[in-house]
């Protein structure tokens, strides 16, 4: 690692040591929730004139190589991509490999998230074609970075934080490569139709607006106009038609299944009961949902309770699945404000139901806007790898320090009226409630409830919630009590793995400040649990 990559460690307001410079750029250390408001103007792409573009609107080029060349590919270019195609994506890797073949070096890849299918980017980093990744890393990419092999420092951002970074000019995208399940020759594009349909294309929206150059890559070219158009052709430079942008079976799952794990079901039920008994579940309320095991199951329990109480939610934010779509169709929820579309039922719904709306990180999560949806949601149910006795939580690293997950919308959702972490109290003998998390991803003052199979801990800052559920028969316990019980089961406090004093990545807070540092791991534990994919 070159000396300039990370330097000048300071202790931030979360008490964590963070670098003052990352990849040559000066950083503001985290200063507390709502404490940092930058001045100045947003970044903007160069002015373009329609006179430079075909008057008939046909921006098609024969292939990606031509498009990259015409976009001015050179050494050090930052190329962005979105992750709506998830583990089925073929476009991001092809773009980087094409750029490498064209001789480009020191590229920066700026994905909205990476997946195991992007593992070959390691070869591009080894060959020098790609310098580093600014975005979530997990699986093999996460291990590569965790072991200090990446030349630049990884920068992990939330979905909202990625928009903020682009908008505030922290990251400048030279070329955005946008995989589009449907597009027309003008560059209007959408994700709701086509054989590679993925639903919303919201993660690509910032890229389309702020990048110097924008390439739309599609395997479903339709005659103008492509309706609806979440990506506007007026922001697009070139359109490339390819045989396939990805593997549909890996883009969305056929049907999303609710977990059968008894422990997860118990946690899910406790979460739903908490929402009901605390009074959060009332007519017109709203909540955040996802596609994880507990996130799905808690919605199922909650729906039953909503029916029983004759209560309707005004809207649901989040990842959409068949379960959410069923609730929408039953009239139990007014709208789905969709950030990510996870299964085929949800894809069909977003394409056909006017109450199922594609959103973007700008509307939902961007902290540097004139408000965002995240803080208007009554309850968010999220996961975590670790949570400490001060309710600080970790979602990016495993307890052994390896990068495990991206942040996704997790940090943004913490601004909900009631943030609930639904987690098992231990996994494979590894306690989830710890004295101090390995990596702070979310400050404890924003985390209200930790729901485990052994009971629910409410943050002492939320006396209102403590009062609301008093005498309701829920297993409310202090977080220290839960921790002590689990340590007794597991055979004492777990030892803290030793990490090298060398940063490999930083975790950004939603306002662009540096919240924590991910340190290089010493060595691998070959019998550690398998790392999972996803954001």
Partner 1 sequence: MPAVAGISTLRRGEAGRAGDDIRSDLHVSFEERASGGIEIGLRSRVELYYGEVIRRQVCDVLCTLGVEHALIGIMDEGALPFVIAARIEAGVRRAGLAQGKSALPEAVTLAAPSLRDRLRRSRLYLPGNEPKYFINAGLHGPDAVILDLEDSVHYAEKDAARLLVRNALRAVDFGTAERMVRINQLPLGLADLEEIVPQSPDVILIPKVEAAAQISDVVGAVDSITQRVGVTRPIWLMPILESALGIENAFAIATASGRIAAITLGLEDYTADLGVAKTAGGSESLYARQRVVNAAHAAHVQAIDSVYGDVVDTDGLLHWGEASCAMGFEGMGCIHPVQIEIIHRAFAPAPNELEKAQAIVAAFEEAQARGLAVVSLGSKMIDAPVVQRAVKLVARARKMGIIADQASAGDPS
Closest distance of CB 480 from partner 1, Å? 18
Query: Which is nearer to partner 1, 154 or 424 (by Cβ)?
Result: 424
From the CB of residue 48, how many other CB atoms can be counted at a distance below 10 Å? 13
Other C-beta atoms lying within 10 Å of the C-beta of residue 124:
21
Residue 106 CB, nearest approach to partner 1 (Å):
35
Cα gap 342→153, rounded to integer Å? 31
The nearest distance, CB 495 to partner 1, in angstroms, is 5
The distance of closest approach from Cβ of residue 525 to partner 1 in the complex, given in angstroms and rounded to an integer, is 5
**Cα(209)–Cα(196) distance, integer angstroms:** 23
d(CA 100, CA 104): 5
Our CB check for partner 1 shows the closer of 94 and 261 to be 261
Length of the chain equals: 535
Question: Nearest distance from residue 156's CB to partner 1, in Å?
Answer: 22
d(CA 361, CA 376): 14
Question: Please, what sign has the CA dihedral across residues 429, 434, 437, 443?
Answer: positive
The bridge status of strand 313-320 relative to strand 285-289 is parallel
Q: Which is nearer to partner 1, 261 or 314 (CB)?
A: 261
Which ranges of 281-435 does DSSP label H, i.e. alpha helix?
A: 293-309, 322-330, 344-352, 361-364, 410-413
Strand partners, 316: 287, 336
Please give the Cα distance from 471 to 330 (Å, whole number).
32
Is 38 or 529 the residue whose CB approaches partner 1 more closely?
529
CB of 267 to partner 1, least distance (A): 10
Q: Let me know: does 339 contact 346? Beta carbons within 8 Å.
A: no
Nearer to partner 1, 234 or 257 (CB): 257
Q: In the complex, what is the shortest distance from the CB of residue 522 to partner 1, in angstroms, rounded to a whole number?
A: 9
Closest separation in Å from C-beta 176 to partner 1 = 39
Sites of contact with partner 1 (CB under 8 A) = 260, 262-263, 265-266, 399-400, 427-430, 453-454, 489-492, 494-495, 497, 525-530
Q: Which is nearer to partner 1, 143 or 511 (CB)?
A: 143
Least Å distance, CB 19 to partner 1, is 25
Q: Using CA atoms, how far apart are residues 121 and 407, in angstroms rounded to an integer?
A: 20
Q: Which of 408, 406, 422, 423 is nearest to 374 (CA)?
A: 408
C-beta closer to partner 1: residue 232 or 261: 261
Residue number, 40 or 262, with CB nearest to partner 1: 262
What does the block give as tokens for 413?
Answer: 């959702």
Strand ranges in 165-293 using DSSP code E only, listed in sequence order: 175-180, 182-183, 189-190, 213-218, 238-241, 285-289
């Amino acid at each position: 690692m070159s000396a300039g990559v990370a330097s000048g460690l300071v202790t931030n307001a979360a008490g964590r040591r963070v670098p003052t410079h990352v990849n040559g750029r000066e950083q503001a250390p985290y200063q507390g929730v709502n404490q940092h408001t930058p001045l100045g103007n947003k970044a903007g792409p160069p002015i373009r004139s329609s006179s430079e573009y075909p008057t008939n609107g046909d921006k098609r080029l024969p292939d990606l190589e031509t498009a990259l060349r015409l976009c001015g590919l050179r050494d050090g270019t930052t190329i962005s991509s979105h992750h709506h195609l998830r583990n089925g994506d073929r476009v991001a890797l092809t773009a980087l490999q094409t750029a490498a073949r064209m001789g480009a070096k020191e590229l920066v890849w700026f994905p909205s998230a990476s997946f195991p299918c992007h593992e070959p980017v390691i070869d591009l980093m080894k060959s020098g074609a790609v310098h580093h990744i600014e975005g979530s890393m997990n699986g093999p990419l996460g291990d590569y970075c965790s072991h200090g092999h990446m030349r630049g420092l990884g920068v992990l951002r939330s979905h909202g934080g990625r928009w903020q970074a682009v908008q505030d000019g922290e990251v400048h995208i030279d070329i955005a490569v946008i995989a589009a399940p449907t597009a027309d020759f003008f560059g209007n594009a959408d994700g709701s139709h086509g054989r590679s349909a993925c639903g919303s294309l919201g993660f690509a929206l910032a890229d389309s607006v702020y990048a110097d150059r924008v390439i739309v890559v599609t395997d479903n070219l339709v005659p103008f106009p492509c309706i609806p158009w979440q990506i506007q052709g007026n922001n697009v430079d070139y359109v490339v038609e390819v045989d396939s942008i990805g593997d549909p079976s890996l883009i969305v799952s056929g049907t999303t299944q609710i977990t059968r794990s008894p422990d997860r079901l118990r946690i899910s039920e406790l979460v739903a009961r908490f929402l009901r008994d605390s009074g959060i579940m009332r007519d017109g309320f709203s909540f955040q949902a996802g596609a994880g095991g507990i996130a799905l199951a808690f919605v199922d329990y909650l729906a039953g309770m909503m029916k029983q109480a004759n209560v309707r939610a005004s809207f649901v934010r989040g990842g959409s699945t068949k379960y959410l779509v069923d609730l929408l169709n039953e009239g139990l929820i007014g709208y789905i404000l969709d950030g990510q579309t996870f299964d085929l039922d949800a894809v069909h719904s977003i394409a056909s139901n006017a109450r199922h709306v594609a959103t973007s990180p700008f509307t939902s999560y961007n902290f540097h806007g004139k408000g965002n949806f995240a803080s208007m949601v009554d309850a968010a149910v999220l996961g975590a790898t670790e949570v400490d006795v001060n309710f600080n939580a970790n979602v990016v690293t495993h307890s052994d320090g390896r990068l495990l997950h991206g942040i996704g919308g997790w940090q943004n959702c913490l601004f909900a009226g009631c943030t609930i972490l639904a987690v098992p109290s231990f996994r494979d003998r590894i306690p989830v409630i710890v004295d101090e998390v390995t990596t702070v991803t979310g400050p404890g003052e924003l985390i209200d409830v930790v729901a485990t199979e052994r009971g629910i801990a409410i943050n002492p800052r939320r006396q209102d919630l403590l009062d609301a559920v008093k005498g309701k028969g829920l297993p409310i316990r202090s977080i220290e009590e839960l921790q002590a019980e689990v340590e007794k089961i597991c055979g004492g406090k777990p030892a803290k793995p030793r990490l090298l004093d060398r940063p490999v990545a930083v975790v950004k807070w939603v306002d662009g400040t540096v919240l924590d540092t991910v340190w290089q791991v010493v060595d691998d534990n070959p019998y550690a649990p398998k790392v999972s994919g996803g954001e």
